[in-house]
Amino acid sequence: MTQESGRFAQALVGAIRTLYTTDTFIPLHEPRFGPRDSEHVLAALESGFVSSVGRHVDDFEAALCDFTGARFAVATVNGTAALHVALLLGGVRADEEVITQSITFVATCNAIRYCGAHPVFVDIERATLGLSPESLAAFLNDHAEIRDDGLCWNRDTGRVIRACVPMHTCGHPARSDRVAQVCADWNLVLVEDAAESLGSFYQGRHTGRYGQVAVLSFNGNKIITTGGGGMILTDDEALAQRARHLTTTAKQPHPYRFLHDEVGFNYRLPAINAALGCAQMEALPDYLTQKRELANGYARWIEGTDRVFVREPAGAVSNYWLNAFLARNAEERDFILEYTNARGVMTRPLWTPMHELAPYRGCQRADLPNSAWVEARLVKIPSSVPPVESSRDSRR
């Protein structure tokens, strides 16, 4: 470890403590709540409708349609459940394959396995941290063919490749237009994991609006939260109806009978959570502004130390959900993680790549040079919307 790395880590802790004006523990991302949040949740309690029926779920879904431009939004208990159903909507079946990136949160792969399908890993781009359209196209050229049935077959495994799931890492948009083009060329359904990227746009389109279906998450650490929650977005009315059906135990409408026409799920978001979501959506534009200011501050500081801050990619407006920078090498990354976490400043590496995890070690994969390069260097730093005092200060 060089002395310069030591000085950098020390200065980083100081800079983060100054930003958040506290001597106590600083988490990676915590939610912000105000009086409006309590009012909405109380209103749900007082209405008596705290479960999945009631105005709040409809209002929350409408707010998401409005914000993202999607025609339909279906709220779910969490983002993982949304992904599971989104893949089923995409037609993913047992013993098929779904291409995704090895650099993602494990939920992406778990949802693929819930369908009985197998993940296949391609590389990410250094610039976007998202699925590389070039790696995807190269993998398909080398290993796949479209047969007379119109489906994309993996020549090595003899299985159908049904879908592709890019993920917008830390909120930074992947190059979805190019990914969508490759998917169209190979008859793959595009399902976007936009769990981290509410408020991020690529070429003027909200993330998740390039795929046939996409998902969002409102887990406690995401840019807005419902405690736990997720959302399925689509422009396709039939898919939206099917999403509602599958997430409500596949129950057919009937005045009093219990008729379920397939194996469904209890995946609908409770109204009490949706009420919190409605309040959080009102705050989202402010959160986005404040997170951008925070990111700009970090960028200036990090770049002043001659290190690379992860900026929004060209053509994108990012929500800057999680700020991150690249350490000089894996050794420096490990030193910084050790140093900051020992001093109450929460930092995290990128996830362990999926192809290194026990359940996914055996999955087929492309060469993953960028995944390895980024994973060895990236450090996520505290990114909560700054507390009220300091954000007020920064507005003056």
Ligand X SMILES: *Cc1c(COP(=O)(O)O)cnc(C)c1O
- Per CB under 6 A, residues contacting ligand X are 78-80, 104-105, 107-108, 167, 193, 195-196, 217, 219, 230
In sign, the C-alpha dihedral spanning 41, 46, 50, 53 is: negative
Q: From the CB of 395, what's the least distance to ligand X, in Å? A: 30
Count of Cβ atoms closer than 10 Å to residue 71 Cβ: 12
Pairing verdict, β 159-165 and 308-309: unpaired
Which is closer to ligand X, CB of 79 or CB of 119? 79
In the bound state, the residue with its beta carbon closest to ligand X is 79
Which is closer to ligand X, CB of 332 or CB of 375? 375
147 CB burial (10 A radius; 0-12, 13-18, 19+): exposed
Which is closer to ligand X, CB of 102 or CB of 104? 104
66 CB burial (10 A radius; 0-12, 13-18, 19+): exposed
Nearest to 132 by CA among 100, 92, 170: 100
Q: From the CB of 313, what's the least distance to ligand X, in Å? A: 17
Which is closer to ligand X, CB of 168 or CB of 301? 168
**Neighbouring C-alpha atoms within 13 Å toward the C-beta of 351:** 18
Contacts of 35 (CB under 8 A, 6+ apart): none
Which is closer to ligand X, CB of 12 or CB of 170? 170
Q: From the CB of 267, what's the least distance to ligand X, in Å? A: 11
Q: From the CB of 152, what's the least distance to ligand X, in Å? A: 24
First to last CA, the chain: 41
Q: From the CB of 43, what's the least distance to ligand X, in Å? A: 24
Q: From the CB of 30, what's the least distance to ligand X, in Å? A: 15
Which is closer to ligand X, CB of 219 or CB of 384? 219
